Amino acid sequence: MTTHADLVLRSDDSRGVCTLTLNQSDSFNALSQAMLSALQQHIKDLTQQDDVRVLIIAAKGKAFCAGHDLKEMRTQPSQEYYQQLFKQCASFMMSLQTLSVPVIAKIQGIATAAGCQLVAQCDLAVASSKARFAVSGIKLGLFCSTPSVALSRNLSRKAAFEMLVTGDFISAQNALIKGLVNRVAEPEDLDAAVESLVESILKKPAVALTMGKALFYQQLESGMSNAYEQAAHTMACNMMDPSALEGVQAFIDKRPPNRS
């Protein structure tokens, strides 16, 4: 019997970097109910740990993630089942946003439909130059409605809508231009590109990153007046953190900050 541990592999290093690796390459790492449950459990576990600084979501095989498991979806064709499935998926996607640490998607292959949604939902994304992206449900007569939520919050409206109504693939370089990914590297350099981003994040105070991530998404969903109010409150709280006070004093004193 396939277990959660088989579906998603977890590894942690001494710096607080956790990697969750989708491990169903034979099904192109499709987001089956079991895969979603495994991912949800890992995220739940991470919320109970104080030593994690960064989460990387990676995958084994040729595909990063091909979206929902269409074969599984056809075995139970009822609106009740589909609503439950998409609710489960949305809950997992939102958990990435509410997780207190930065989440990086490491994309080595294709990411389609809900797999492309997963890339968009992560805070940051680094892709192999061989990776490709699409929200291709429309080609089956199914508009990728749930992926559109994350996609439209990453790309410009017209770029997102074009992907949604054509279902066509875009290259990693086009994904970079459109804002779906942050960095593109040759396949042999993908690990190094992700590590460079991780190292930069780890040099920053954890408290500031936690506050900043929460505020970043809250203000995006607010009107400008509310956004400024939330931002001002967050900055005031952040300034009272010892690491921020030390950082400001170090700038004034023209010396490196003492982070010990």
Residues 247 and 191 in one domain: no
pLDDT given for residue 76 in this prediction: 79
What is the Cα gyration radius of the chain? 19
Say how many Å lie between the first and final Cα of the chain, rounded: 47
Find the domain containing 179 and state its range.
Answer: 4-202
Residues 135 and 163 in one domain: yes
Strand spans (E) along 87-165 = 103-107, 110-112, 124-128, 132-134
The confidence band for 239, taking pLDDT boundaries of 50, 70 and 90, is: confident
Number of alpha carbons in the 13 Å side-chain half-sphere of residue 184 = 17
The confidence band for 3, taking pLDDT boundaries of 50, 70 and 90, is: low
- Average pLDDT over every residue of 229-243: 85
The confidence band for 138, taking pLDDT boundaries of 50, 70 and 90, is: very high
Q: Is the separation of the CB atoms in 146 and 86 below 8 Å? A: yes
Q: Is the separation of the CB atoms in 57 and 106 below 8 Å? A: yes
Q: Is the separation of the CB atoms in 201 and 102 below 8 Å? A: yes
Residues 111 and 229 in one domain: no
Q: How far apart are CA 93 and CA 119, in angstroms?
A: 10
Contacts of 176 (CB under 8 A, 6+ apart): 127, 182, 183, 184
Residues 116 and 190 in one domain: yes
Residues 48 and 143 in one domain: yes
Residues 191 and 72 in one domain: yes
Residues 27 and 135 in one domain: yes
Residues 197 and 133 in one domain: yes
Residues 112 and 46 in one domain: yes
pLDDT given for residue 52 in this prediction: 97
* Tens digit of each residue's pLDDT (9 = 90 or more) over 31-69: 999 999 999 999 999 999 999 999 999 999 999 999 999
pLDDT given for residue 19 in this prediction: 98
Q: State which amino acid sits at residue 58.
A: A
Considering the chain, what percentage of its residues have pLDDT values greater than 70?
Answer: 98
DSSP 25-78: GGGTT-B-HHHHHHHHHHHHHHHT-SS--EEEEEE-SSEEE--B-HHHHHHS--
Residues 67 and 90 in one domain: yes
- The H or E element that residue 244 is part of is helix 242-253
pTM of the model as a whole: 0.91
The confidence band for 2, taking pLDDT boundaries of 50, 70 and 90, is: low
For the chain, the domain total comes to 2
